[in-house]
Each structure stands twice: as C-alpha cells, then as structure tokens.
Amino acid sequence: MIGPQRPQIVLFGSSIVQLSFSNDGWGAILADVYARKADIVLRGYYGWNSRRAVKDGKCQPSLIIAYFGGNDSMGPHSSGLGPHVPLPEYIENMRKIATHLQGLSDTTRLIFLTCPPVDEVKFGENTSSIFSELVRTNELCHTYSDACVELCNDMGIKVIDLWTAIQKRDDWQACFTDGVHLSGEGSKVVVEEILKVLKEAEWKPSLHWKSMPTEFSEDSPYDLVYKDGKTTLNPSDWTFHREIQWD
C-alpha cells in the first residue's frame, strides 16, 4: 500500500554519501528515524568532486544534505588527472551548487557537510597498490572544510563542520573504516549533528523528525490488543527498537 506523497530528503554527494547505507551508515540511520515521516533518497557517487556535481536537476525535495570536498581536497596528481580541485575553484563550484539547489523551490532546505578529518595512518595502511600518488592529509581536509564553512556562512546556508565534530572524540580514528570513509561510530556523529541542526532550525514546516506528522498514525482495530482484551495499542510512534533514542 502506498500512502500520500511524502517529503523527500535527498542525500547528495560523493562516496561518503553513497556508502551511507553501509556499515551502520548515517543514511540508514536517518531512513530508520524518518521511516514514517519522510523518504530518504540516496544520490551519492564514488569519486565525485564538486566539478561533477555542478549540473541541473528537476527534483524539488524538502531537504538536501550535500557533501563534497573530500575528493576535491586530495593533492594534485602529476599527470593533471584525478579528482583534485584547486581551493578557489572548489569554493566557486560549491557556490554554484548551493545557488542551484536553493533555487529549486522556496521550500527546499539545504544543509552542507564539510570534509571530515582523515586518519592518515589508517589511510596509508588501506591504500591499494593499484593507485598512484594518492595524497590525503588532515591539513588539506581542514583547509577545504574551513572554506566550506565560510562560504555557507556568507550565503546563509546551514553547515555542519564534520572536521571539528568528529575530532571532538578522543578516539576519533574509530570513526573510519579505512581512514577516509565512515564507520558506524562516525555515522553516529553525522546523524547527531544533522538532527541538532534540524531541531534548532526555524524552518516552517519543521523538518525535525519529532515535529513532522506520522504517516498512518490513526488508531486501528487491527493493531495488537492490549492486555485488557478490549483496546488496541497504536504502534505508529514506537521507537524502542532503536539502540540510540535520537533527539
């Protein structure tokens, strides 16, 4: 059975977005939290940088959570090939992406995620020999992360500084599977920060999951029967199955 059209939350970006349904990922967590509230739409692509993301689209979702920068911030390859995008071009690309997404509709909201840190030791241990001259440093990620924050502040866009948020943990290296991509622990940080923004945002209507209407929330005689044998229990807002009770 398909109900009425629901709000859409689009996750747009590179591999950190594509893999967000893997390894207890942040996309999967959001899909659970919003199970009876909104549809989570995955639009993440391995290896993408801001150059490839500058394009038109006709989707008009309620919220877009966008992430680009990890591939852009890689050191340039001597051949001129590869995903590296110089910082000034990255900033301009992100400005174009933001302007386009903001123009989709008056009710489309936007959150940008910055580069997370990189565990250089783990990254070096997990890099395949089929690649050449892969340069990822925490310092480069920091530079691109700060640039994204500054741009978003200038444009009035909600932004989550993942570079800082993840490194608040003493064991922040546990937030990665390979030094770059997020583990379940890293995804928990991302979800916590996203829900914090959504709770504090003065958007009307609110897109925080607790403020959104629950689909098919009416009482039903087909629900499980309470121990009194006379009434049924409405399960539409049950969350006890979740390991973390997200705020």
Q: Tokens for 132, please give them.
A: 């050449």
Q: Tokens for 25, please give them.
A: 């990922």
178 is catalytic: yes
How far is Cα of residue 167 from the mean position of the Cα atoms in its chain? 17
Evaluate the CA torsion angle 236, 217, 10, 112 in order and state its sign. negative
14 is catalytic: yes
Q: Which one of 22, 100, 178, 183 is the catalytic residue?
A: 178
Strands 63-67 and 8-13, bridge-based pairing:
parallel
Q: Which one of 14, 62, 145, 187 is the catalytic residue?
A: 14
Alpha-carbon span 15 to 240, nearest angstrom:
31
Map tokens 């829900």 to a residue: 195
Strand residues in 59-167 grouped as ranges (E): 63-67, 109-113, 158-160
Alpha-carbon span 80 to 110, nearest angstrom:
32
Q: Which one of 72, 181, 187, 208 is the catalytic residue?
A: 181
Positions marked catalytic: 14, 178, 181
